[in-house]
Amino acid sequence: MRFFYLIILSPKKLHTIDNEIIVVGAGGWGTALAMLLGGKGYNVKLWTHEPNIRDEINNLHTNSPYLPGARLPESIKATIDSKDIENASLIVNTVPTQFIRSLYRDYNFPMEGKIIVNGSKGIERKTLFQVSEIFSHSCGVSADNYVVITGPSHAEEVARESPTTVVAASENIELAKKVQGIFMTPNFRVYTSDDVVGCEIGGSLKNVIAIAAGIIDGLGMGDNTKAALITRGLAELTRLGIAHGANPLTFSGLSGLGDLFVTCNSKHSRNRSVGEAIGKGKTINEITSETKTVAEGISTSESAYCLGKKHRVEMPITEEIYKILFEAKKPLDAIGDLMVRQSKREWWW
């Protein structure tokens, strides 16, 4: 058994991580990250609340409902026992944002002193918290023990070891560097950042813009329309990020432009697929009833709409997506209203 040690310079205590890692959430992304870490030789446990998923992973080494076609290393063991969390110093969270608070509370996961590497993207409804804030307020995880890993990284391609680049962001830059080393492979390149706010907002808001991109695809509109959407969507999420104190340069990087581009264009994007179905005439209730997977952009559109109002940030695309999803506005009417808005300078924040 090999060990690596994570030392954080602190007047209070030193943190040590052995090579046992728990990935909480056995969806596609959690499974792909477990495969990546297991392939590097780490002792990985994949926590799920679904006994059938546990049994399939442990007996067949597959996860067909969430990551079809992938073969998991036999070293990866799935568990439904929350006590297994006690043995890991590092938790990789991939639970969808809207369920983080309730799941960690209901299962009473022991969180004291643990390091969280978060892979989920979204903004919590009602509280309007980013994921870092959820873990801080509901689980007592300090900023020094929290890293978000984000960027253009569809689970299906990570599982196939397609070349992928992401960013690991933490207020504790030394921790970000250590997480960089844990996850880095020849096909999974990790950069570091100290802009947690910017990386989380970029990763969350791109899902809203991706729904709009899917609507464009569903309506059969062209490349000009998609390019305009991505460009103005980037401006929109940048405005919200700046209002929260983020570094504007973050949004030209992997967690901004990179993630936005891939999510708006990829066949793997659940959020783009939701939009495409809307563009073809389906209702949001019909779409959500047909799939087990979660499209974070649906709930995030509501949260982002409320954040824009709260901070007086103009977010016209987000506002129109909110109206399409929650007020049954027709997509063509929304596009028309966006096009005839008052004229402006291109850069006006």
CA diameter of the chain:
64
User: How would you class 258 by CB atoms within 10 Å of its CB: exposed for 0-12, middle for 13-18, buried for 19 or more?
Assistant: buried
Q: Is the distance from CB of 318 to CB of 305 less than 8 angstroms?
A: yes
The yes-or-no answer on residue 40 being catalytic is no
Q: Is the distance from CB of 63 to CB of 34 less than 8 angstroms?
A: no
Query: Which of 335, 347, 262, 271 lies closest to 304 in space, CA to CA?
Result: 271
CA-to-CA distance for 93 and 27, rounded, in angstroms? 11
Which of 114, 206, 267, 329 is flagged as catalytic?
Answer: 206
Active centre residues (catalytic): 206
